[in-house]
Amino acid sequence: MYGLRSSSDDEGGGAMDPTPTGSWAVEALGLEKSYGDVRVLAGLDLRVRRGSVFALLGPNGAGKTTTVRVLTTLTRADAGRARVAGHDVVEDRSRVRRAISLTGQYAALDEEQTGEENLRMMGRLRGLPRRRAARRAAELLERFSLTDAGGRRVSTYSGGMRRRLDIAAGLTGEPEVVFLDEPTTGLDPRSRRTMWEVVGTLARSGVTVFLTTQYLEEADQLADRVMLLDRGRAIAEGTPDELKKRVAAQRLDLTMTDRHAYDAMAARLDGAAVHLAPEELLIGVATDGTAPHVRTLLDELDPSRVEISRFAVHGATLDDVFLELTHE
């Protein structure tokens, strides 16, 4: 299992630190959770370094949202331990909640209030004095490029503006750890890239970001480390580049001339393909990307030169990792 490393490894350790002053913003050991007969988490271990961006990936039902709910004290695990910002999520729930921010898939805002009023309200709920809450609201509106819209009702905001305001609302208390559960769901590409800039800004300011996402490109762009879940277990963990190299540093995509050629090539490769797209008649195989290796592969796979209509070489992506390592 790839979640927890030995104590000699710089990126992890076999046991949770006994004090809250270590390098880890989030630690979990042996988390288990079931709903009836369905086992959602099956002994999950993970560690997230302070000030980093950590992405949790996996197919639907892999356990991503349940993991976030356990770490943010919304759900209690059946077994295992977890600590966030140095505090136990069971024994120190109130301290954990004061140290974190959680943004779900849908904005939790009062649409009848203005953006500024939402932020001031959140500041007051966080215990800030009235003037300090007003100053903090102004700071966050500027930070998230919402100053001009601050006096407008949230009901007039675009989807991207609402997501930015929602994250801003979670930062009124200056949390140590920000949990973003699929924060760009439903956003258009331009709004999604704006959100990426927001996440990058958070990380550069020293905030730890724990991100779940369905967009693998998002994790590739943002995350320092990525963990891939499948059926409640961590099946791979590392930097995006490390994970991509597990599948193939480079990929040679072969477009076949017809379906008969596609089926014949897939049969010959017998599971060695790293990417299959039958609707496009496309098969991907691992390569080092050099011209000699590409020529050798083409000659070996299609010696008669009648089955491959065209080819392309590109770097492996997290999509390749996802499809190769998950049960789907």
Helix or strand run (H / E) with residue 63: none
* Interstrand relation of 79-84 and 24-35 (parallel, antiparallel or unpaired): antiparallel
Residue ranges of domains in the chain: 24-238, 245-325
Cβ–Cβ contacts within 10 Å for residue 292, how many?
8
pTM (2 d.p.):
0.72
Q: What is the spatial distance between Cα 248 and Cα 287, in angstroms, rounded to a whole number?
A: 7
Asked if domains 24-238 and 245-325 share a fold, the reply is: no
Give the residue among 3, 60, 6 at the shortest CA–CA distance from 235: 3
Q: What confidence tens digit (pLDDT) does each residue in 74-102 have?
A: 999 999 999 999 999 999 999 999 999 88
CATH number of this structure's domain 245-325: 3.30.70
CB 176 within 8 A of CB 99: yes
Domain 24-238 = CATH 3.40.50.10320: no
Cβ–Cβ contacts within 10 Å for residue 227, how many?
26
Whole-number pLDDT of residue 325 = 67
Ranges of residues in the chain whose predicted pLDDT is under 70: 1-22, 105-107, 247-249, 316, 320, 323-328
Whole-number pLDDT of residue 326 = 66
Six-digit token string for 99? 């140290």
- CB environment 305-323: b (16+ within 10 A), e (fewer): eebbeebebeebbbebbbb
Whole-number pLDDT of residue 2 = 27
**Is residue 2 classed exposed, middle or buried when 0-12, 13-18 and 19+ CB atoms within 10 A define those classes?**
middle
Order of all β-strands in the sheet with 275-277: 275-277, 282-287, 250-256, 308-315
Helix or strand run (H / E) with residue 311: strand 308-315
**DSSP-derived secondary structure letter, 278:** G
